[in-house]
Structure 1
Amino acid sequence: MYQKIYDVVEKRGRVKTGIFLNGEETGLKYLAEEDCFFYPDGKKAKETAGELLKKTVADAVETGVVKVGNQEIFVETYEKNPRLVILGGGHVSIPVAEIGKLLGFHITVMDDREDFVTKERFPQADERITGDFETLPEKIPPYENAWYVVVTRGHLGDSACARAILKRPFAYFGMIGSKTKVRITREKLLAEGFTEDQVNSIHAPIGLPIGGQMPAEIAVSIMAEIVQEKNRHFRTYCDEEVEAAIRLGAAGTMVTIIEKKGSSPRGTGSKMFVFRDGRTVGSIGGGKVEFEAGKYASQVQAVETRIYELGQGKGDLGMICGGTVRVLFEPVNAGKNMPGLA
């Protein structure tokens, strides 16, 4: 199950899952991007349960517990390897690429002028692509966790890029330009049959309004807006050590924070993997909370949740921060996670 999740998020950059936390279907898990179900005990679930899980995952926008009547479902959005795709190699693109690289993005720069996408001009870029913007669909594969910055030199280039981007998944799409340039592109897209919702998803003019005039200042406003959008919702952080343990085929227990109240060292979606021999990788916050959760994980036979309190003197856990975390335990038995619906 987790092997599949990590494979898909590596390929697509973003995936969503959901798991029942209570009731007869406790433990039934759904991976949206592959439209498949996993049940640790090999049982089959009712079709109505599967449909509820699908809809809840589709509607959720961030990692957290969703309540549907008496049913609790934990939905996770996994993200990794964000790609910043800069379309246009002009003077603003250079600092955008520099700041994007500093923030951990994979950088792609595309322009229809070969001398604008050289290694000397963009040494930090992971990919430099020369080609007409009409060829974007062939030059740049679709990717869920892609952040598009359109900074071409004219509305023809803008329209070609927008046409391609609006037909594929994206995390963010921003377009630079004057009000006139943006208006012309918008009118053209609407005339071509794109909906108001699609056109309104474009951040134009691009960037936060911080009054930037110089290329570097404009780049700061663009990347500030991208960071703001990126952090608007809780996501599940893909811990490399946890992922490595799963890829090695280790058996054990996945421990995940599904809810927190008050202060806690780690947020919702934080994970720790506990091997059968008690070793751990990843973290749900350290201290005695993590110790107790790790000790309990070795006894887990089925999906279940527990609540740990973090306040000084509460539950004798000795943490200096106040609050509680609710923790999900999922047994991971290599090769035994079976898909299926009745």
Structure 2
Amino acid sequence: MYNKIYEILEEKGRIKTAIILDGPDMGKKCIVRQPGNPDAAAQEKSLIPEQEEDREIWEKYLPLLNDARETKVITADGIRIFVEDYRKNPRLAIFGGGHVSQPTAHLGKMLGFHVTIMDDREDFVTKERFPEADELVYGDFKDLDQYIVPYENAYYVILTRGHLGDADCLRRLLKRPYEYLGMIGSKNKVRITRENLLKEGYSLEELDQVHAPIGIPLGGQLPEEIAVSIMAEIVKVKNQHYSAYCDEKVEAAVQEGRHGVMVTIAEKSGSSPRGVGSKMFVEPSGHIEGSIGGGKVEFEAINHCPEVKDKEVKHYALTADGKDSLGMICGGQVTVVFERV
């Protein structure tokens, strides 16, 4: 299943997985994709069980899984489910190539985004104006779907030269999955745009997701100051939920077809060294990629890997005595998931 996870992650930039930690269905796993729209067909495609016969089990949990926004253990019907929210390769698409877009693109690259600039004026999307941009698109905003494919880990910034271009972009972007959607403009322009789109059938819930006026209010007037306020808001949104760390070496081991055991921290308390979602890939030869923190917990997990037949969940107590104790005095507890790959 990890091949599928990394394949979708590379294509869309975001994916969620869920695995049941206890009860009769312990070890059952699924992928949850963010649907592009709320209809039944999209919801159906958003759920990918590891085993198709488990679909009915996961369907009852799907609304709860769709609402989960970060990597953590959730509880449903007394059953604990470990949800992992993976994100990588964030993309920043800026609509409009004007004076505010230039410093916004520059800051976006500094912060690790793949940056796309689109404008309906050819001379505004040039390498001279945007030397650091990854992609420059010249075209009508009404046709943006032809140029910019939907992407789940996307951050959209609408900075066109007028309200018509802004509205054209907003109409199309509202129907996509995204992490952030912001539109520049005065409060009056934003109000009129919202009223027009409501009349066209867009819901208040959809429009309330739009950051407009855009940016954190810093009082700046210069293009560079406005760009800082925009990117500050994007960074705030990007980091408001805890995501699983994507270790590139662990990912590469799976994609290369190597076999072994994937070891993941699902829960932790106290002074355990690595965070929830940390992964380690242990091959039969003893070769290891990644880490769940080193020390006694990692040592015990590595030694347990040869015994793993399919999936297991183990709890380690970071105490000096008691059940599952590791003979440590730092305190705390770690729940570890083992999956044979």
Q: Normalization by structure 1: what TM-score? A: 0.90
Equivalent residue, structure 1, for 2:143: 135
Instruction: Tell me if structure 1 keeps the 8 A contact 2:31–2:48.
Output: yes
Equivalent residue, structure 2, for 1:316: 327
Instruction: Tell me if structure 1 keeps the 8 A contact 2:96–2:117.
Output: yes
Shift of residue 110 of structure 1? Answer: 0.5
Quick one: structure 1 residues 312 and 231, their matched pair in 2 at CA, closer, same or farther if it must change by over 3 Å?
A: farther
Equivalent residue, structure 2, for 1:293: 301
Equivalent residue, structure 2, for 1:205: 213
Instruction: Tell me if structure 2 keeps the 8 A contact 1:274–1:298.
Output: no
Quick one: structure 1 residues 212 and 298, their matched pair in 2 at CA, closer, same or farther if it must change by over 3 Å?
A: farther
1:325 and 2:325 equivalent? no
Shift of residue 48 of structure 1? Answer: 4.2
Alpha-carbon RMSD: 2.0
Instruction: Tell me if structure 2 keeps the 8 A contact 1:255–1:329.
Output: yes
The one of 72, 80, 99 equivalent to 2:107 is 99
- Partners of 1:147 and 1:220 lie apart in 2 by 15
1:86 and 2:107 equivalent? no
Equivalent residue, structure 2, for 1:6: 6
Instruction: Tell me if structure 2 keeps the 8 A contact 1:241–1:282.
Output: yes
1:271 and 2:282 equivalent? no
Structure 1 unaligned spans of 5+: 333-342
- Partners of 1:134 and 1:44 lie apart in 2 by 43
Shift of residue 87 of structure 1? Answer: 0.6
SS in 1 for 2:22: coil
Aligned length: 326
SS in 2 for 1:205: coil
SS in 1 for 2:60: helix
The one of 311, 315, 325 equivalent to 1:303 is 311
- Partners of 1:5 and 1:240 lie apart in 2 by 13
Shift of residue 70 of structure 1? Answer: 2.4
Q: Which runs of 4+ in 1 moved over 6 A?
A: 311-314
- Partners of 1:306 and 1:150 lie apart in 2 by 48
1:184 and 2:192 equivalent? yes
Identity rate of aligned residues, in percent?
56
Instruction: Tell me if structure 2 keeps the 8 A contact 1:53–1:73.
Output: no
Shift of residue 18 of structure 1? Answer: 1.1
1:56 and 2:64 equivalent? yes
- Partners of 1:17 and 1:315 lie apart in 2 by 29
Matching of residues 10-89 of structure 1 within 5 Å:
10-33=10-33, 35-39=47-51, 44-45=53-54, 48-89=56-97
Equivalent residue, structure 1, for 2:37: none
Q: Which has the higher contact order (CA 8 A, sep 6+)?
A: 1
Matching of residues 209-224 of structure 1 within 5 Å:
209-224=217-232
Instruction: Tell me if structure 1 keeps the 8 A contact 2:61–2:76.
Output: no
Structure 2 unaligned spans of 5+: 34-44
Instruction: Tell me if structure 2 keeps the 8 A contact 1:234–1:268.
Output: no
- Partners of 1:312 and 1:154 lie apart in 2 by 67
